Amino acid sequence: MKRAPRQRGKFNLRGRMMLVACTLGLCSVALVGRAAYVQLVNADFYQRQGEARFVREIPIPTSRGMITDRNGEPLAVSTPVESIWANPQELLRYPERLPELAKALDVPLDQLASRLSQRADKEFVYLKRRINPDQARAILAHNIPGVFSQREFRRFYPQGEAMAHVLGFTNIDDRGQEGLELAFDEWLRGKPGAKRVIRDRHGRIVENIDLIRPAEPGKDLTLSIDRRIQFLAYRELRNALATHKASSGSAVVLDVATGEILAMVNLPSYNPNAVTGHNPDARRNRAVTDLVEPGSTMKPITVAAALTAGTARLDTRVDTSPGYMALGRFTIRDHHNYGVLDVTGIITKSSNLGSVKLSEPLSAQFFYDFIRRFGYGSAPQSGFPGEAAGVVLPPSRWNGLTKATMSYGYGLSATALQVAQAYAALGNHGRLITPTFVKGQINEARQVVAPEIADAVVRMMQTVTEPGGTATQAAILGYHVAGKTGTSRQAAAGGYSRRYTTLFAGLVPATNPRFATVVVINDPQGGAYYAGLVAAPVFRAVMEDTLRLMDVPPDDIETWLAAQAKGEAKRQAALPPLPPPLEEDPYDAAIPAAMPGVGDGGEP
């Protein structure tokens, strides 16, 4: 029996079209809603996500301020260099390019691979810093993915070792590490800028979006240092250390009237353009950090103290016979038995006994306070990092010998800069000025001793460099020189060793001092160790050229003229005698003076 065929339902095209239209409409509404949510409601989130992938904030490097000497000559300048960096995430996707990159960088392949693998999750790592721009271009020319360069600055010191201890140096990030680079780091450094850019996937800048912060270059710094005097002091100190086989030395030159430091050198030195970790001792600025017992350079201060207290006058006479004296269980000696000396003679002959006897009537507190007035026992406040204050014990810690030994420079310690500051005060009519490394900086002067006493002591010190004094090798032709030698034994465990420190402190021209100079040489081993033979010649050599460079007129014309006349006489005496006059030719005598062709050049 056949079944009846099932009847098909009627096809509803209209209904289906409505369903499709409704579905598409709902999808459109959803898309529009999603777009509105993304672009309006949650726009900031997606903006940040996009920027995180393409927008970068990069620094704008700025150059460090230039340091110049007092005449505008550059002492420290910043030169543009390039630093090579990489994005490890991108670079490590091409390991086959690493050998090529290592060769271009001139580094071992295993070292490069290890550095990158340790920072595989980072987007930035330095590969080689502060190289010549030509070298950087050669590396980038390999077109290795993930390798880029950026501009930086590197410090350069044209004067090299001669200025190393004063200037110091900067680290790889151009931050001051020592010396004036550290002291004035905030002033010199400037402030790097920043800008927002769009980078492509290769790290190249596609577009500059915004300047976030403009770069502020560092400020220039003009020092009180004179490059020419600095080099003179460095050269002469180096020659002296070589001649006398000394271990180290320092020299300081001050402008008496202003306290400006015109030169400060130390040896051994180092190259600030290539600082290494070897021999860090050579990087120490000994002139402001190393303490020495000033020895006989203290005797003018002792004389000034006695004159100020009224316990001595200019005509006071002191008996130093027989050249030694017992003080407790110790014996104080002079180099010779100088007999009876006046106050000037104590300085001229550098008598230890004379200084001790001048100090005896002084109260301990007065003598201590008087020494402190000249800056001993206090940091000079020049602004240099790590200045030493020196040691001057208060009277409460003195023993029976302290005052006596301090009178001739033992039992206290000071730096070369402190000694120079004290002598500058004597040369400045008793006014002490804080030393400075900055040209034009005006520091207040303090009257530490009466002008007439300071001037009298300077006149006394003038005899030290004249015949009969202990430092005739410090004399400068045409100028009066006031100074004082100091030779002190170096302290050792349990007492003093047989090693010496030699000092010479001087003022020139003595009649109106312009410069105060101190030379310190440690441990001379060349046979001579007295300051008059070791340190004084350095003073003379430096000051001779300094006086000429600074156009300081002579104040001893008579001696200069006498020396010139003596030299001319010696020169004339050394000339060979003149030959006897030739006999007159009778033929020449017979020729009339006006004969044509002979006498007046006319034609014959």
Q: How far is CA 266 from CA 237, 489, 569, in A?
A: 8, 20, 42
Give the residue-averaged pLDDT of 270-299.
91
Going by pLDDT thresholds of 50, 70 and 90, the confidence category of residue 333 is very high
Give the residue-averaged pLDDT of 544-573.
85
Pair of tokens at residue 11: 């096809």
Going by pLDDT thresholds of 50, 70 and 90, the confidence category of residue 55 is low
pLDDT of residue 388: 96
Residue among 184, 160, 227 nearest 65 (CA): 184
pLDDT at residue 407 is higher than 90: yes
> What percent of the chain shows pLDDT beyond 70?
87
Classify each residue of 60-71 as buried b or exposed e, where b means 16 or more C-beta atoms within 10 Å of its C-beta. Answer: bbbbbbbbbbbe
Residue among 519, 483, 466, 500 nearest 240 (CA): 519
Going by pLDDT thresholds of 50, 70 and 90, the confidence category of residue 208 is low
Task: Say how many residues make up the chain.
Answer: 604
CA atoms of 268 and 279, how far apart (whole Å): 10
CA atoms of 505 and 471, how far apart (whole Å): 10
Contact 221, 421 (CB under 8 A): no
pLDDT of residue 455: 97
Pair of tokens at residue 15: 């209904």
Which of 89-93, 175-179, 379-383, 556-560 has the least mean pLDDT? 556-560
Contact 265, 162 (CB under 8 A): yes
CA atoms of 251 and 420, how far apart (whole Å): 9
pLDDT of residue 225: 97
More confidently predicted of 420 and 81 = 420
Which of 43-52, 250-259, 476-485 has the least mean pLDDT? 43-52
Going by pLDDT thresholds of 50, 70 and 90, the confidence category of residue 422 is very high
pTM recorded for the entire structure:
0.82
Mean pLDDT (the chain, rounded): 87
Going by pLDDT thresholds of 50, 70 and 90, the confidence category of residue 21 is confident
Which of 48-52, 115-119, 350-354, 527-531 has the least mean pLDDT? 48-52
Question: What are the two backbone dihedrals, phi and then psi, of residue 562, each rounded to the nearest 5 degrees?
Answer: -65, -40
- The DSSP 8-state label assigned to residue 277 in this structure reads S
Which of 219-223, 266-270, 373-377, 597-601 has the least mean pLDDT? 597-601
CA atoms of 75 and 257, how far apart (whole Å): 24
pLDDT of residue 580: 63
Going by pLDDT thresholds of 50, 70 and 90, the confidence category of residue 53 is low
CA atoms of 227 and 160, how far apart (whole Å): 12
pLDDT at residue 82 is higher than 80: yes
Going by pLDDT thresholds of 50, 70 and 90, the confidence category of residue 579 is low
pLDDT at residue 600 is higher than 50: no
CA atoms of 479 and 507, how far apart (whole Å): 11
Give the residue-averaged pLDDT of 200-229.
79
pLDDT at residue 550 is higher than 80: yes
Give me the residue label for tokens 């004067």.
Answer: 159
Pair of tokens at residue 496: 């003093």
CA atoms of 271 and 559, how far apart (whole Å): 43
Give me the residue label for tokens 């003038």.
Answer: 462
Cis upstream peptide for 509 (omega within 30°) = yes
Contact 280, 289 (CB under 8 A): no
pLDDT at residue 273 is higher than 60: yes
pLDDT of residue 603: 33
More confidently predicted of 440 and 214 = 440
More confidently predicted of 4 and 436 = 436
Sign (positive or negative) of CA dihedral 368, 371, 373, 379: negative
pLDDT of residue 230: 97
Among 18-27, 202-211, 267-276, top mean pLDDT goes to 267-276
pLDDT at residue 592 is higher than 50: no
CA atoms of 341 and 423, how far apart (whole Å): 23
Pair of tokens at residue 343: 């106050």
Q: How remote is the C-alpha of 489 from its chain's centroid?
A: 28
Give the residue-averaged pLDDT of 567-571.
77
List Cβ neighbours of 140 (8 Å cut-off, separation of 6 or more): 84, 147, 148, 149
Helix H or strand E segment including 38: none
Going by pLDDT thresholds of 50, 70 and 90, the confidence category of residue 544 is very high
Q: How remote is the C-alpha of 140 from its chain's centroid?
A: 38
- The DSSP 8-state label assigned to residue 440 in this structure reads T
Going by pLDDT thresholds of 50, 70 and 90, the confidence category of residue 526 is confident
pLDDT of residue 213: 74
Residue among 150, 144, 153 nearest 58 (CA): 150
Going by pLDDT thresholds of 50, 70 and 90, the confidence category of residue 256 is very high
CA atoms of 304 and 301, how far apart (whole Å): 5
Q: Which of 63, 78, 224, 296 is catalytic?
A: 296
Give the residue-averaged pLDDT of 425-434.
97
List Cβ neighbours of 145 (8 Å cut-off, separation of 6 or more): 90, 91, 93, 94, 97, 202
CB count within 10 Å of CB 578 equals: 6
For the chain, the first-to-last Cα distance in angstroms comes to: 174
pLDDT of residue 272: 93
Alpha helix locations (H) across 428-481?
451-462
pLDDT at residue 595 is higher than 50: no
pLDDT of residue 598: 35
Going by pLDDT thresholds of 50, 70 and 90, the confidence category of residue 485 is very high
pLDDT at residue 56 is higher than 80: no
Question: What are the two backbone dihedrals, phi and then psi, of residue 205, each rounded to the nearest 5 degrees?
Answer: -75, 120
Going by pLDDT thresholds of 50, 70 and 90, the confidence category of residue 31 is confident
Contact 432, 258 (CB under 8 A): no
SS3 content of the chain, % helix, strand, coil (to 5): 40, 25, 35
Q: How far is CA 10 from CA 7, 19, 22, 91, 265, in A?
A: 9, 17, 22, 67, 112
Active site residue 296: yes
